[in-house]
Amino acid sequence: MRPLGVIGHLSRDIVAGGRPRLGGAPWYAGRALRLLGDDAVLFAKCGEDDRARWQRTLAAIGLPASLSTGGETTSFSFRYADDGSREMRVEQVGQPWRLDEPPSGLLRRVEALHVAPLLRSDFDAAALERLGAGRRLLLDAQGLVRVPQEGPLQLDAEYDPEVLRRVSILKVSEEEADVLAGGDVEALADLGVPEVVLTLGERGSIVIVNGVAETIAARPVGPSVDPTGAGDAFSSAYLAAREAGHAPASAARRATALVAAVLLKRAS
Amino acid sequence: MQTVDGVVLVDAEAEELLGSGTELPAVEAPHVELPRVVAAAQSGATIVAVVARRPPLAISRDSGSTWSEAGGGLPAGFAVAVAEDDPDRMLYAARNRLYVSANGGVFWRALPFELPDVLAVAWID
């Protein structure tokens, strides 16, 4: 079986005014796939200035990685209010993936691809058409709703429906489901993607396939565990399980178990 | 629902097991002129039949004159029920899972528990 791929921008994340830290799906999902022992290839993109440092960091995951560069690195800042609410700002918008990135020779190696945009501008319909040719695509709905504009992060449903044409699996968070379908599980099924996975944090997930919604319970990990990157880990693990022949609900159970293991490992 | 281990009461809205019951309400199954029918239920002119093929449901809105297929994502079924006061509310039993539809069998929600093998289902309002 050919390996799984994860593609997305790396991000520079500044949490509560602290030192910038690395984020983005190739980083979080890559580490989860390494834990699973799955054969996988990482395709990442960042600004030229961050290339040397982050190439080493990516390489340290221990999976084959291809790093494209161009423009600036996508950057976010996070601030937490006294009531625990989180404000997320877009500080810098990265350059979209070009049609020749990643190189075709590398892309041919992967059988299924977890596409993880940070913002809606990361992958357009033409890019997804190329990425999805001959392989199963899982798309993170961040790439449908996150407006690529500096300032407080804004979400809306003004995406190009053509981006979903090649998508086999759509992974949606609760917040994204509110924007895309008013939080209505049935309406998510009408987006035109054969398989939708709605993640609900500590309340588990709902898999929607062929007009049937099935709830998968979460595995408790405790309140003090930082969930950053859990969605990326879930998506890659889900796709890996689907590629291994698991049914959607079974794949969600496996992904849930992996996310719990990743979060608990991080907390220990 | 009637299972091999007795009657089990379920709250389909809250998705909760309520405990054991005594017996299911007696519901007369409609006569259905379809091949490979496993179970059927009726409310007004709506008839729902579980059939032993893919997809596993056939639904008629005109007392059995015409039928449409439904439930493409459902596993093989063993029992079905339609609410008497609202024919769009349906219960579908796979071997040990229960599915609920509120829109006439277009969209189904799996209840999050496994049961002993299900023999029959019925709505109790």
What local confidence, expressed as pLDDT, does residue B4 receive?
94
Chain B hits for A214, CB-CB cut-off 8 Å, are 109-110, 112
Please state the rounded mean pLDDT for residues B89-114.
Answer: 95
Chain A hits for B107, CB-CB cut-off 8 Å, are 186, 189, 211-213
Question: Which residue of chain A comes nearest to B99, CA vs CA?
Answer: A212
Q: How far apart are CA A127 and CA A136, in angstroms?
A: 14
Whose CA is closest to A143, among A187, A86, A94, A206? Answer: A94
Cα A14 to Cα A57, A89, A207, A233: the distances in Å are 18, 10, 33, 21
Task: Tell me whether 0.95 is exceeded by the ipTM.
Answer: no
What local confidence, expressed as pLDDT, does residue A206 receive?
96
Q: How far apart are CA A104 and CA B1, in angstroms?
A: 55
Q: Give pLDDT tens digits for B11-70.
A: 998 989 999 998 888 888 899 999 999 999 999 999 999 999 999 999 999 999 999 999
On the question of pLDDT at A265 being above 90, the answer is: no
Q: Is B108 on the interface with A (CB under 8 A)?
A: yes
Residue B6 to chain A, least CA–CA distance (Å): 25
Chain B hits for A211, CB-CB cut-off 8 Å, are 71-73, 106-108
What local confidence, expressed as pLDDT, does residue A14 receive?
93
Chain A hits for B108, CB-CB cut-off 8 Å, are 211-213
Tell me which of A186, A209, A212, A214 to substitute to probe the interface with B (most B C-beta atoms closer than 10 Å): A212
Q: How far apart are CA A31 and CA A124, in angstroms?
A: 26
Please judge whether A189 and B109 are an interchain contact, meaning their C-beta atoms are less than 8 angstroms apart: no
Q: How far out from the chain centre does Cα B54 lie?
A: 16
Please state the rounded mean pLDDT for residues A224-247.
Answer: 90
Tell me which of B15, B109, B114 to substitute to probe the interface with A (most A C-beta atoms closer than 10 Å): B109
Q: Give pLDDT tens digits for A74-118.
A: 999 998 777 767 789 999 999 999 999 999 999 999 999 999 999
Q: Is B99 on the interface with A (CB under 8 A)?
A: yes
Tell me which of B108, B111, B114 to substitute to probe the interface with A (most A C-beta atoms closer than 10 Å): B108
Q: What pTM was computed for the model?
A: 0.90
H or E element, residue B9: strand B6-11
Q: Give pLDDT tens digits for A121-162.
A: 999 999 999 999 999 999 999 999 999 999 999 999 999 999
Please judge whether B110 and A212 are an interchain contact, meaning their C-beta atoms are less than 8 angstroms apart: yes
